[in-house]
């Protein structure tokens, strides 16, 4: 797979979209005109955009699975956390492995879903800025993927990283707390800096000091995928299907998921109904433009259904009654 167009945005805001030529040499000549005769830059850029990108993983190579392509839809976010990408901060320190801002919060998201049911089936999250070589200043990235289809659940993750040394330790702490503090605040969560005060107040009662703020919906979801936190919760309607589909698919492959927060808060836990998972094939009624693809009820990303149920029951106890219906 190779790129078909190159975008240039100049300092005065002028934008030029250039289609690739049939050959690398022709693209170099065209780029040379756009880049004011900088042949070295033209050759380097042409070489990159003409090369085929091959994605391979031993776990996938050993898997035989046939998914009809005409049943699939795709959501792509080419740069999630655009502001952090433009700002380009490379010296942000992490808080227990979680970056509040900076290039580490930038992700590329590809989510594949069933066009009939809206269920996410495959997801890829590319985190291009994971670590930087201080000598060369070059960045190393990491790619994560997951597949959940017809009973097959597989993902690329190594044993999840945890702020409590290991995922096994985290599970033991959650289920069998060894101290009064752990018993009172067994959950950790990542939130947006724009989260509502009512949600933050309730979370502080559920999670104590284990609340982390971070930029980028894709990155916050990735924090859950990696086991850095238990929950990503967001009550606003400013994330979209392309923000959540990739991570949702990976979490499904791991036994977790992503649910509509508003519907969860309004749901009767004794109803026997399934958790209201986000779906990706239909837009919001009455909405226009990009708003029809917004996650209108907010979201919660989680790794364990049982853990989510416990988290929701505790969250509800600390939310004012009006918040569960607004």
pLDDT tier for residue 108 given thresholds of 50, 70 and 90: very high
- Would residue 12 be called left, alpha or beta, if left means φ above 0 and alpha means ψ between -120 and 50 degrees? alpha
Whole-number pLDDT of residue 159: 52
CB of 219 closer than 8 Å to CB of 106: yes
In order of 91, 170, 274, 309, the CA distances from 264 in angstroms are: 38, 25, 10, 10
Share of the chain above pLDDT 70, in %: 83
Reference 144, options 1, 257, 248, 258; nearest CA is 248
When pLDDT is averaged across residues 190-204 and rounded to a whole number, the result is: 93
Q: Which residue has the higher pLDDT, 297 or 175?
A: 297
Reference 299, options 266, 264, 265, 260; nearest CA is 260
Out of 120-129, 165-174, 264-273, least confident range = 165-174
Out of 49-53, 300-304, 320-324, least confident range = 320-324
Reference 214, options 130, 106, 100; nearest CA is 100
CB of 124 closer than 8 Å to CB of 144: yes
When pLDDT is averaged across residues 79-96 and rounded to a whole number, the result is: 94
CB of 74 closer than 8 Å to CB of 110: yes
Helix, strand, coil fractions of the chain, as percent rounded to 5: 35, 25, 40
22-37 tens-digit pLDDT:
899 988 988 888 788 8
- 125 annotated as ligand-binding: no
d(CA 40, CA 144): 33
Radius of gyration of the chain (CA): 22
Dihedral sign (CA 92, 95, 96, 102)? negative
When pLDDT is averaged across residues 278-286 and rounded to a whole number, the result is: 94
Q: Which string of DSSP letters, residue by residue, matches 20-63? A: PPSSHHHHHHHHHHHTTT-HHHHHHHHHHHHSPP----HHHHT-
Q: Which residue has the tokens 């330790």?
A: 169
- 77 annotated as ligand-binding: yes
138-161 tens-digit pLDDT:
999 999 999 999 999 999 985 544
Beta bridge partners of 300: 233, 259
The CATH classification number of 7-50 equals: 4.10.460.10
When pLDDT is averaged across residues 12-17 and rounded to a whole number, the result is: 58
**What are the residue ranges spanned by the domains of the chain?**
7-50, 62-155+185-325
199-228 tens-digit pLDDT:
999 999 999 999 999 999 999 999 999 999
- Residue 325: is its pLDDT beyond 90? no
- 79 annotated as ligand-binding: yes
Residue 263 tokens read as: 């519907």
Whole-number pLDDT of residue 286: 92
Whole-number pLDDT of residue 9: 54
- 114 annotated as ligand-binding: no
CB of 234 closer than 8 Å to CB of 222: no
Reference 237, options 279, 196, 293, 298; nearest CA is 298
Query: For the chain, what is the mean pLDDT?
Result: 85
Q: What are phi and psi of 226, to 5 degrees?
A: -80, -5
CATH entry 3.40.190.80 includes domain 62-155+185-325: yes
CB of 229 closer than 8 Å to CB of 106: no
């Amino acid at each position: 797979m190779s790129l078909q167009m190159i975008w240039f945005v100049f300092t005065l805001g002028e934008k030029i979209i250039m289609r690739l030529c049939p050959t690398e040499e022709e693209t170099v000549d065209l780029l040379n005109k756009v880049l004011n005769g900088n042949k070295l830059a033209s050759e380097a850029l042409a070489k990159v955009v003409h090369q085929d990108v091959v994605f391979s993983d031993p776990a996938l190579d050993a898997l035989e699975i046939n998914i009809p392509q005409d049943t699939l839809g795709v959501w792509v976010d080419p740069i999630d956390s655009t502001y952090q990408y433009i700002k380009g901060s490379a010296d942000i320190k992490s808080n227990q492995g979680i970056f509040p801002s900076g290039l580490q919060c930038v992700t590329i998201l590809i989510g594949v879903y069933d066009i009939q049911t809206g269920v996410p089936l495959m997801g890829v999250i590319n985190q291009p800025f994971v670590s930087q070589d201080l000598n060369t200043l070059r960045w190393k990235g990491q790619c994560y993927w997951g597949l959940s289809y017809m009973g097959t659940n597989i993902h690329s993750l190594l044993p999840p990283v945890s702020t409590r040394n290991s995922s096994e330790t985290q599970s033991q702490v959650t289920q069998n707390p060894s101290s009064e503090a752990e018993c009172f605040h067994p959950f950790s969560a990542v939130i947006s800096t724009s989260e509502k005060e009512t949600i933050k107040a309730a979370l502080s009662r559920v999670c104590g000091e284990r609340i982390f703020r971070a930029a980028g919906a894709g990155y916050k979801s990735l924090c859950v995928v990696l086991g850095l936190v238990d929950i990503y919760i967001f009550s606003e309607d400013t994330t979209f299907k392309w923000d959540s589909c990739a991570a949702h698919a990976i979490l499904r492959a791991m036994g977790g998921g992503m649910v509509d927060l508003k519907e969860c808060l309004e749901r009767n836990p004794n109803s026997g109904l399934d958790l209201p998972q986000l779906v990706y094939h239909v837009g919001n009624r009455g909405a226009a433009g990009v708003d029809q693809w917004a996650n209108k009820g907010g979201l919660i990303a989680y790794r364990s259904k049982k853990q989510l149920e416990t988290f929701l029951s505790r969250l509800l106890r600390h939310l004012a009654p009006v918040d569960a219906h607004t």
